[in-house]
Amino acid sequence: MTIIVRRLASAATLACSIAVLLHALAGVPIIGAQLPTISGGTHVRVHTQQRSDVLEGTLVSQTADSIGVVRGDRLQMIPSVSVVAMDVGSGRSHARGAVHGMKMGTLIAGGTSAVLFGVSYASYDGPKHLADLAWVTSVFAFSGTVYGAIIGGAIGSETWVSAYPRRVAFAVQPRVNGASGLGVSFEF
């Protein structure tokens, strides 16, 4: 019994030592950092420890220990200690969306036509003219540019500004069986 207790105590001491060392290396204070105050109704993206995806929605409430984000018709309360990073939307630009759509349309249509027509060109038994392949590929790339600009301009593009940069975060949470778990989350 004493061997098990000593091993558990040494494991807990090691875990705490690693936590303090990682905090010291990252330059992050041991006490959780305070989230910046953001006005309600702002479009935000929240990166948390528990989820691998990003919570994107409208900020509706913010207290010292939690923030409320509306996604669709659901309100999600997120504890402040679990927030790793937060970005604020600076608005949607249709011109920037058109430029992004032009780039994507050119790459997709031009690349796809180059592969498809390149394979059929290589397997063609008749006389081969490389200029024909280049002409067909450039026509498809240009059409992809036009359609990409139309679609991208209609949809638009949103730019995000970091309101709370990524940080090292630690969490001690109770487990189902009554034990405690130590979680470490950090990104560069």
Confidence of residue 29 (pLDDT cuts 50, 70, 90): very low
- pLDDT greater at residue 118 or residue 31: 118
Q: pLDDT digits over 76-85, tens only?
A: 888 888 888 8
- Chain centroid to Cα 74, Å, comes to 21
- pLDDT greater at residue 155 or residue 176: 155
The pTM (predicted TM-score) of the whole model is 0.52
- pLDDT greater at residue 24 or residue 175: 175
Q: In a 10 Å sphere around its CB, with 0-12 CB exposed, 13-18 middle and 19+ buried, how is residue 111 labelled?
A: middle
pLDDT of residue 98: 95
Arithmetic mean of pLDDT, 10-35: 52
pLDDT of residue 148: 95
> Quick check: 99 pLDDT over 80?
yes
Selection from 39, 69, 65, 75 nearest residue 54 by Cα? 69
> Quick check: 39 pLDDT over 80?
no
Average pLDDT, the chain: 77
Amino acid identity of residue 140, one-letter, is F
- pLDDT greater at residue 49 or residue 87: 87
Q: pLDDT digits over 103-152, tens only?
A: 999 999 999 999 999 898 888 888 888 888 899 999 999 999 999 999 99
> Quick check: 173 pLDDT over 70?
no
CA–CA separation, 84 vs 163, rounded Å? Answer: 11
Confidence of residue 11 (pLDDT cuts 50, 70, 90): low
Which residues have a Cβ under 8 Å from the Cβ of 146 and sit 6 or more positions away? 105
Domains of the chain by residue range: 1-33+167-188, 94-157
DSSP-H helix ranges across 81-129: 94-123
The listed range with the strongest mean pLDDT (67-71, 76-80, 108-112, 170-174) is 108-112
- pLDDT greater at residue 36 or residue 127: 127
